[in-house]
Structure 1
Amino acid sequence: MLLPLGDPVSDMQQGPPPAVTDRWETLREDATATAAEYDADGWTVHRVETGEVTPLSGTPFGLDVLVPGDDFERASELVEAASFDTSHVYRAEERGVRFLIIVVEASDDEVAVVVPAYLSASDTEALAERAREEGVMYTHLRPLSDEARVTFSHEDPELFF
């Protein structure tokens, strides 16, 4: 069952720098198509609407993805109901920006969360170093209120770099 996208939050920054807006829109469409494929296969899938993405190389580390409150609530519900065990990351680079479609799966439950994201190529070095040291990468979803997080772990950080 494909869950609908949340309503955009007017205070959220939407996407990467203006120089790559067209590529970002294409990536968002690709993420929607990826979610539709899972849906067609009978999975419960939620494609989040990404606002700002911030790389964190301290504690915690990973990608901090701002999402609308409704999207955060849906992702939280899915995480509570399923055990996510597989990650896929599709990536491309253009004009100094790395574009990512992050898919986390709960294989046994046939549940997937699809997260379009971006990262400045200049921000990848410190994050990649930390992820390689730890042997894991994290994607943190958070609402604008910043009161909670849904965190997905990815056992192969090289998927991102």
Structure 2
Amino acid sequence: MPDDVSDPRTDRRRDPDEVQTDAWKQTLEDMEAIAEQRRDDGWSVVTVMAAHTDTVSRDMGDDDTFGLVHIIPDNYAAEFASTFDATEFTEYLAYGSDIQGYMYAVTEFIDSETDRSILLASRYDMTRAEGMVQSAEEEGVLYTHVKTVDGTVLGTFEHESYAPLIAKPNASAGR
């Protein structure tokens, strides 16, 4: 590609005005505020930050796995793995905003029986999520998969109601 022609996908990832940087900082602050409120209410809370999140459709891999795939750093893996149990964490809440086509979100996995919560901060490109959304609509469910960098699956959560996780991006420049 000639030097004078820009690639729109590359241009989106640049952040000269720090809008995306500020959105990520705000997402982490939101996660900590939610965690603090839960702890004040007597809950046990684990906070996790995704290093990377992909929107995966059924036709992207060797199997039918689809949904949000969060890669978490190893320093979060042990605590997440020892806390998360798909049979106990049966509810979720999603908090987020779309900023320049990226979803900045905190997903809260909830075990209301024992007042436990796992908060997962993430950012994913909604402009590349069409296949994932189509897979979810065809199946009537969306999955969240949490993995380590080496691909070890630490947990999978099934979202029967998933609209908050796939909000359509808009052209907003800030929160």
**Counterpart for residue 10 of structure 1:** none
Q: Secondary structure at the match of 1:109?
A: coil
Distance 1:94 1:84 in 2: 29
**Counterpart for residue 127 of structure 1:** 132
- Conserved? CA contact 1:82–1:106, under 8 Å: no
- Conserved? CA contact 2:68–2:143, under 8 Å: yes
Structure 1 unaligned segments of length 5 or more: list them: 1-15
How much has 1:36 moved relative to structure 2? 1.3
- Conserved? CA contact 1:39–1:45, under 8 Å: yes
Question: Counterpart amino acid of 1:68?
Answer: P
Of 107, 118, 127 in structure 1, the residue corresponding to residue 123 of structure 2 is 118
- Conserved? CA contact 2:44–2:115, under 8 Å: yes
How many pairs does the alignment contain?
A: 146
Q: Secondary structure at the match of 1:149?
A: strand
Distance 2:30 2:149 in 1: 25
Pick the structure with greater CA Rg. Answer: 2
Distance 1:151 1:52 in 2: 16
**Counterpart for residue 82 of structure 2:** 77
**How large is the RMSD of aligned CA atoms in angstroms?**
1.9
**Counterpart for residue 32 of structure 1:** 32
Question: Counterpart amino acid of 1:156?
Answer: S
Q: Secondary structure at the match of 2:135?
A: helix
Distance 1:88 1:114 in 2: 9
Matches within 5 A, 1:1-161: 17-19=13-15, 20-58=20-58, 59-80=64-85, 83-161=88-166
Structure 2 unaligned segments of length 5 or more: list them: 1-11, 59-63, 167-175
- Conserved? CA contact 1:72–1:141, under 8 Å: no
| Deviation digits for residues 82-109 of structure 1 (CA, Å, limit 9, x no counterpart) | 7011111112111111111111101101
Relative to 1, partners in 2 of residues 1:137 and 1:60: Cα closer, same or farther, differing over 3 Å?
same
How much has 1:138 moved relative to structure 2? 1.3
- After TM superposition, the score normalised by the length of structure 2 is 0.76
Question: Counterpart amino acid of 2:99?
Answer: E
